[in-house]
A and B are shown apart, each in its own frame.
Chain A
Amino acid sequence: MQVLLLIGRRIAATVPVLIAVALIAFVLLRISSGDPVAQLAGDNATPEAIAAIRARLGLDQPMIIQFLQWGWRVLHGDLGTSIVSGTPVLRLIGQHTAPTIAVSLMTMLVSVVIGVPLGVYAAWRRGGIVDQLTSVMTTAGFAVPTFAVGYVWIYLLSMQAGLFPVQGYVPLSGGVGRFLWHLTLPVLTLSFVYIALIARVSRTSLLEVMSDDYVRTARAKGLPERTVIFRHALRNAAVPIVSIIGIGVALLIGGVVITESIFNLPGLGRLTVDSVMARDYPVIQAVIIVFGGVYVLINLLIDLSYAAFDPRISLS
């Protein structure tokens, strides 16, 4: 009961953040150049007709009322209608989520599976060849733009070696093999900076705990090195690693926008860029809310997971 209450309090704490996200999305739309009423009314509209449309859309109300009305609709799942296609934005977003989720989850999986062991090994064999290579790779990972990584992979693995398709997306229903085959290059591209990030944090946080007393104690009582690292050191180094994964979600979402554009994946990133080109504001607004919400949700889950990794951290 106590725990449930605390989890509830944590969830409640995300509400102001979500309101702030919604407010930003709302304001971004309002400052946009171009009057939606003038667009709807056409060139020959009389001032009375314009005023009528304005009143119908609620745009004659004070800004705060407009925000509340809009927020109320968003809470009911009404994110508006695309100006370009006339499709409800929610349906449009639903149609584009699968590729984005596929790329993001795969990238996260690949990055953790490669990044954590790499960082652990680098810390364990400090100054060794793996450590030095990791150090070079992490420095490079932060300096190379995602799209450049993408084109290097396209050049090497697609154009030269002919191993993977240059572009395109095959849904899971089109066969697991083909699905993964098309996702390989996007995931390799996006995970580059993420592996660097996770490996670097894993390395430093493991190095930090390796000099702690309990690690020395574990070694002194003759535990094998493997047990010392995995049972004693890594467990204690887990919190910074998990939290960087949370921070990295924003990075990941940003990267998805670019990766989808390079590899022509029909995901949310692609939808965003296309909407910006077409000035389809309701869609842009909705995408911000969705991505902001996902970010807040993932960080909430990570927050709650701390207690599982480190019993010393209580949920209060």
Chain B
Amino acid sequence: MSVIVAASPTAAPKRTRSLPRIFRSKAVLFGSIVLGVLILIAIFASVLGVVDPAAVQPRLRLKPPSAAAWLGTDHLGRDVYSRLVYGSRVSLLVGGVVALLAVVFGALLGLISGAVRWVDGLLMRAMDGVMAIPAILFAVAMIGALGADLVTICIAIAIPEIPRVARLVRSVVLTVREEPYIEAAVSMGTRTPTLIARHMLPNVLAPLIAQATYIASSAILIEASLSFLGIGMPDEVPSWGNMMANARLVFQVKPLLMLLPGLCIVLTVFAINRIGDGLRDLLDPRLAKSVGRLK
């Protein structure tokens, strides 16, 4: 055991050195700045000149932008600007929580599947089964069964993402498993959990982070879609998806109410995808070369 622990400090300085390198990628830098601003908006939503986003004012329905309501009001007279600002919370929270859930459970299943041979077949067939059900359909069905609250929505969106993560991790583990240092660790009598945590997990961290960004952006899109279908977050909680769902009713007269939250979603997802693309190019030099040839 002590030998394995002693081996880890050599890995530490390498990780800190690679951090600035990541931000040298324009895509990652752009995405991180936009995402950073969005996160700040979500955290400090209450001090950004907002009024109560749920305050219904029937006499002020569908007003154009003014000094009182910077971006006008919706079909119930609620302040659009305030709802947009608060809406960032739902999207970012769902994106972050789903990515975390999917990565943690996917990695766990993938590591077990790759390292313990007898569960591999069973686990992978189960994963195939989950993958055969379209993500939105699964989420719709699960929310239909359990009702819509933030926890259920996050779990419902996360479960269909787990197989992809598990497969990714498993494939890395299967390649790594043949490496001499694994053989060495096994011959020294390292137990399987230690083997997984100390020797296999570090190898999958980098591709996992790239995968996590794509999961986050797809989760944001799915959450918005669920709200749009009318089975997402309840209407009292402002989210970009249910703002768009409400805007359907008045789309013919006020397309702006649809456009603004739509743009917020696009910007957020685009920023996260840029981070993912940048990371993927850094991780896979072969792919980066073919992208680089573009210039």
Supposing A127-B295, A272-B140 touch, asked if A24 and B145 sit within 8 A by C-beta, the answer is no
Whether A16 pairs with B137 at a CB distance below 8 angstroms is no
Number of A-B contacts (CB under 8 A): 154
Whether B125 pairs with A17 at a CB distance below 8 angstroms is yes
Q: Is B97 an interface residue (CB 8 A)?
A: no
Q: Is the interface of A mostly helix, strand, loop or mixed?
A: helix
A27-38 interface bits toward B, Cβ cutoff 8 Å, 1 = contact, 0 = none: 011011100000
Supposing A20-B126, A272-B140 touch, asked if A143 and B217 sit within 8 A by C-beta, the answer is yes
Chain B contacts for A253, CB-based, 8 A: 134, 137
Q: Is B158 an interface residue (CB 8 A)?
A: no
Shortest CB–CB separation between residue B64 and chain A, in angstroms?
18
Shortest CB–CB separation between residue A255 and chain B, in angstroms?
8
Shortest CB–CB separation between residue A131 and chain B, in angstroms?
7
Among A45-53, A89-97, A226-234, A277-285, the stretch in contact with B: A277-285
Q: Is the interface of B mostly helix, strand, loop or mixed?
A: helix
Complex Cα–Cα for A154 and B230 (A):
20
Q: Is B215 an interface residue (CB 8 A)?
A: no
Supposing A17-B128, A127-B295 touch, asked if A258 and B136 sit within 8 A by C-beta, the answer is yes
Q: Is B112 an interface residue (CB 8 A)?
A: no
Complex Cα–Cα for A159 and B254 (A):
12
Whether A275 pairs with B128 at a CB distance below 8 angstroms is no
A2-42 interface bits toward B, Cβ cutoff 8 Å, 1 = contact, 0 = none: 00000000000000111111011100110111000000000
Complex Cα–Cα for A116 and B145 (A):
40
Contact of B143 among A151, A250, A276 (CB under 8 A): A276
A277-315 interface bits toward B, Cβ cutoff 8 Å, 1 = contact, 0 = none: 101010011011001100110000000000000000000
Whether B251 pairs with A143 at a CB distance below 8 angstroms is no
Chain B contacts for A261, CB-based, 8 A: 228-229
Whether B147 pairs with A23 at a CB distance below 8 angstroms is no
Shortest CB–CB separation between residue B56 and chain A, in angstroms?
23
Whether A288 pairs with B146 at a CB distance below 8 angstroms is no
Whether B146 pairs with A31 at a CB distance below 8 angstroms is yes
Chain B contacts for A16, CB-based, 8 A: 125, 128-129
Q: Is B221 an interface residue (CB 8 A)?
A: yes
Shortest CB–CB separation between residue B294 and chain A, in angstroms?
6
Measured as residues with beta carbon below 8 angstroms from the partner, the interface class of chain B is: 35 or more
Whether A21 pairs with B132 at a CB distance below 8 angstroms is yes
Contact of B144 among A143, A208, A279, A296 (CB under 8 A): A279
Whether A291 pairs with B255 at a CB distance below 8 angstroms is no
Supposing A147-B244, A151-B258, A276-B231 touch, asked if A207 and B140 sit within 8 A by C-beta, the answer is no
Contact of B145 among A29, A207, A295 (CB under 8 A): A29
Shortest CB–CB separation between residue A245 and chain B, in angstroms?
15
Whether B140 pairs with A20 at a CB distance below 8 angstroms is no
A297 — nearest CB in chain B belongs to which residue? B132
Chain B contacts for A24, CB-based, 8 A: 129-130, 133, 138
Shortest CB–CB separation between residue B135 and chain A, in angstroms?
6
Shortest CB–CB separation between residue A272 and chain B, in angstroms?
6
Shortest CB–CB separation between residue B243 and chain A, in angstroms?
12
Chain A contacts for B147, CB-based, 8 A: 33
Complex Cα–Cα for A1 and B133 (A):
33
Chain A contacts for B142, CB-based, 8 A: 28
Among B10-18, B202-210, B261-269, the stretch in contact with A: B261-269
Whether B134 pairs with A254 at a CB distance below 8 angstroms is yes
B235-276 interface bits toward A, Cβ cutoff 8 Å, 1 = contact, 0 = none: 000000000100000011001001000100110011001000
Whether B244 pairs with A148 at a CB distance below 8 angstroms is yes
Q: Is B73 an interface residue (CB 8 A)?
A: no
Shortest CB–CB separation between residue A12 and chain B, in angstroms?
12
Give the interface centre of B129, B146, B147 by most chain A CB atoms within 10 Å.
Answer: B129
Whether A33 pairs with B229 at a CB distance below 8 angstroms is no
Whether B266 pairs with A275 at a CB distance below 8 angstroms is no
Supposing A20-B126, A28-B141 touch, asked if A296 and B228 sit within 8 A by C-beta, the answer is no
Give the interface centre of B132, B251, B262, B287 by most chain A CB atoms within 10 Å.
Answer: B132
A16 — nearest CB in chain B belongs to which residue? B125
Whether A204 pairs with B290 at a CB distance below 8 angstroms is yes
A275 — nearest CB in chain B belongs to which residue? B144
Give the interface centre of B133, B244, B251, B265 by most chain A CB atoms within 10 Å.
Answer: B133
Task: Scan residues 236-258 of chain A and give those whose CB is less than 8 A from a CB of chain B.
Answer: 250-251, 253-254, 257-258
Q: Is A216 an interface residue (CB 8 A)?
A: no
Chain A contacts for B130, CB-based, 8 A: 20, 24
Q: Is A142 an interface residue (CB 8 A)?
A: yes
Whether A148 pairs with B266 at a CB distance below 8 angstroms is yes
Whether B137 pairs with A291 at a CB distance below 8 angstroms is yes
Contact of A258 among B141, B229, B252, B290 (CB under 8 A): B229
Supposing A20-B126, A33-B145, A145-B224 touch, asked if A257 and B140 sit within 8 A by C-beta, the answer is yes
Q: Is A273 an interface residue (CB 8 A)?
A: yes
Whether A291 pairs with B133 at a CB distance below 8 angstroms is yes
Whether A20 pairs with B129 at a CB distance below 8 angstroms is yes
A/B interface sample: 9 pairs, CB < 8 A:
A20-B129, A24-B138, A32-B146, A142-B269, A144-B262, A145-B266, A147-B225, A155-B251, A261-B229
Extra inter-chain contacts (4) besides given A24-B138, A127-B294, A288-B141, CB under 8 Å: A33-B147, A142-B273, A145-B269, A261-B228
The 9 closest A-B pairs by CB, nearest first: A20-B129, A32-B145, A276-B144, A254-B136, A143-B270, A254-B134, A148-B262, A16-B125, A253-B134
B: residues with CB less than 8 A from A are 125-126, 128-138, 140-147, 217, 221, 224-225, 228-231, 244, 251-252, 255, 258, 262, 265-266, 269-270, 273, 287, 290, 293-295
